[in-house]
Chain A
Amino acid sequence: MRVKVWGARGSVPSPGPETVRYGGNTSCVEITLSDGTALALDAGTGIRSMGLTLGENDSRINILLTHLHMDHIQGLMFFAPAFNPTSEIVIWGPEAPDASLRDRIARYISAPLSPVEVRELPCHVSFNEAPHTEWQIGSATIRAASVAHRGPTLGYRVTEGDVSLCYIPDHEPALGADLERDDPEWISGYELAQGATVLMHDGQYTSAEYPSRIGWGHSELFDALAFARRVDTERLVVFHHDPLHSDDFLDALQGSAMDRWAELGGEPTQLEFAAERRELVVDRERS
């Protein structure tokens, strides 16, 4: 599978000269499967740029939403295929007790926040609560699991052949837990991420920032590293960068992450920070 990052920023778009390298768009990752099927992981503002690159052959697109915070859905209203009558968009997301996925998304795509309503979108759009069992999209098997964040939130694992990408952009598995010592059954996201070829995971806060943000649903960077080592992923892509973290700051943070990663027994080639427009090929030879 081919993977392209269209937005790696967390919380709120943060454009500007200080964020041009890692990017200011919020969460969106495009996956192209070997059979050509296109998936979008989340629909933050990054999905706007992704939509502009899709061709006529991409008339059916699956969007897997981890949750409905604004930084993960804001781009939906600016996704070009949504305004193409020949497009078919299938949106997957977490189940919630209060309303259907469609109705919850319609809270955003409706007045006064939006000039159009869901029913007015020219595309063919459908909404599916993610099942609790694996399902198939194109040549990939998809698995979703609830993870520790504020409100109903999923992580996804996309498996094609013998490779897999696990995407958990908003996740605080260390909340009240010991990632190095607790049994795996008590670590949020463990089973979903275990042995993934690539893990894209929340690493929003520094060690200095985290103590004043405990319970906000995001990981301290070093906790993300510990989680990745615990689940034995082959490669970690740190995701959901804090909007206050400039390119230079993230460069420095990546340096300290590399040191910590080495202390945990990781190889330098297994770790990187997500950057907008970064492309990965996830397979056994080239990932």
Chain B
Amino acid sequence: MAEEQRPVELILARSLIANITTPGFLVDEEGIVVFFNDAASVLLGVRFEEVGRMGPERWATEFGPFDEAGERVPPEKVALTIALREGRPTTAHYRIQSMKGVRHEIEAAAVPILTVQGTRGAMVFFWLEEEP
């Protein structure tokens, strides 16, 4: 059964993310990951089609992020959360964990998708700090 039609701004953002080689994620206004691209699936060790949509709690459980001490980053300090709540681009440095338990040190940039109807979601991009 099809989900409700997505706003055109999210549709266009998904098209962008699907066609680039930077690991990228699309999150809706509720903070649910509704898409990530093939480059991101290499980091996470799983394809989006295999896991489907993921809420913030499940995402945190599966992938992190973690700080330098290996502790989970509190939700309010995650770049994505700040982008969605405050409507401003945010960058952060932390670690994520793949489905296979491999940890990657990354830079993350979260960009909110702001429209005349308010915040529609956010795009998040990762850059590897070091090769795994």
Which residues of A line the B interface, CB within 8 A?
Answer: 95-97, 132, 145-148, 152, 175-177, 183-188, 190-192
Chain B CB within 10 Å — which of A147, A184, A186, A190 has the most? Answer: A186
CA distance A175 to B9 in the complex (A): 13
Q: Which residues of B does A touch, CB under 8 Å? A: 2-9, 11-12, 14-16, 18-19, 115-117
Chain B hits for A96, CB < 8 A: 116
Q: Which residue of B lies closest to A183 (CB)?
A: B2
Check A186–B11 contact: CB distance below 8 A. yes
Q: Check if B14 sits within 8 Å of A147, measured CB to CB.
A: no
A residues within 8 A CB of B117? 95, 132
Nearest CB in chain A to that of B2: its residue: A184
- Chain B residues lying within 8 Å of A191, measured Cβ to Cβ, are 4-5
* B11–A177 touching, CB < 8 Å: yes
Q: Which of B5, B7, B18 has the largest count of A CB atoms less than 10 A from its CB?
A: B5
Given contacts A96-B116, A176-B16, A176-B18, contact A184 B11 (CB under 8 A): no
- The reply to whether B12 and A148 form a contact with Cβ atoms under 8 Å apart is yes
CA distance A269 to B19 in the complex (A): 37
**Shortest Cβ distance from B35 into A: residue:** A186
| Bound CA span A175–B19, Å | 11
Q: When the two chains form the complex, which single residue of B2, B19, B116 contacts A176, counting CB atoms closer than 8 Å?
A: B19
User: A132 CA to B14 CA in the complex, in Å?
Assistant: 22
**Bound complex: CA A190 to CA B11 (Å):** 11
Q: List 27 A-B contacts (CB under 8 A).
A: A95-B116, A95-B117, A97-B115, A146-B8, A147-B8, A148-B11, A152-B116, A175-B15, A176-B12, A176-B15, A176-B16, A176-B18, A177-B15, A183-B2, A183-B3, A184-B5, A185-B4, A185-B5, A185-B6, A186-B6, A186-B11, A186-B14, A187-B11, A188-B8, A188-B12, A190-B5, A192-B5
Residue of B nearest to A96 (CB): B116
Give CA–CA (A95, B9) in the complex, Å.
14
